[in-house]
Amino acid sequence: MAQKRPRTIQIFLPTGDPAGIRIAEQTTSIIRLIEVPRSEMAEFGKMPEAKQVGLYFLIQGDGKDELYVGQSGDVGNRLMQHHKDEKKDWERALVLVSLTNNLTQTHVLYLESLSIEKAKSCQRYELINGNGGQKPHTPIPLKADCDEIHETGSLLLATLGYPIFEPLTEPSKDKAEQTFVCSRAGVDAKGIYTSEGMVVLKGTSAPMTTKRKTQQQFFKRRDELLAKGVIAEQGGRFVFTRDYLFQTPSGASSFLLLASSNGWVDWKSPQGVTLHDHQGRNLESVTEEAL
Alpha carbon of 255 to those of 74, 86, 260: distances in Å?
44, 34, 8
3-state percent breakdown (helix, strand, coil) of the chain, nearest 5: 35, 25, 40
Domain map (residue ranges) of the chain? 9-159, 175-290
Q: With a cut of 60, say whether residue 57 has pLDDT above it.
A: yes
What residues have CB less than 8 Å from 53, skipping those under 6 apart? Answer: 71, 72, 73, 74, 75, 97, 101, 103, 104, 105, 107, 108
For range 57-61, the mean pLDDT: 86
At 264-273, the pLDDT tens digits run 999 999 999 9
At 20-29, the pLDDT tens digits run 999 999 989 9
Using alpha carbons, select from 159, 24, 168, 28 the residue that is nearest to residue 97.
Answer: 24
Amino acid at 26: Q
Residue 131 pLDDT = 76
Residue 61 pLDDT = 65
- Asked whether the whole model's pTM tops 0.75, one would answer yes
Alpha carbon of 86 to those of 55, 82, 83, 107, 131: distances in Å?
22, 8, 7, 30, 21
Residue 286 pLDDT = 46
Residue 291 pLDDT grade (very low, low, confident, very high; cuts 50, 70, 90) = very low
3 exposed, middle or buried (CB, 10 Å; 0-12, 13-18, 19+)?
exposed
Contact 275, 264 (CB under 8 A): yes
Contact 165, 157 (CB under 8 A): yes
Alpha carbon of 215 to those of 189, 218, 227: distances in Å?
21, 6, 19
Residue 285 pLDDT = 54
Residue 129 pLDDT grade (very low, low, confident, very high; cuts 50, 70, 90) = confident
Rounded CA separation 202/217 (Å): 23
Mean pLDDT of all residues belonging to the chain: 88
Contact 57, 162 (CB under 8 A): yes
For range 4-31, the mean pLDDT: 92
DSSP classification of residue 232: E
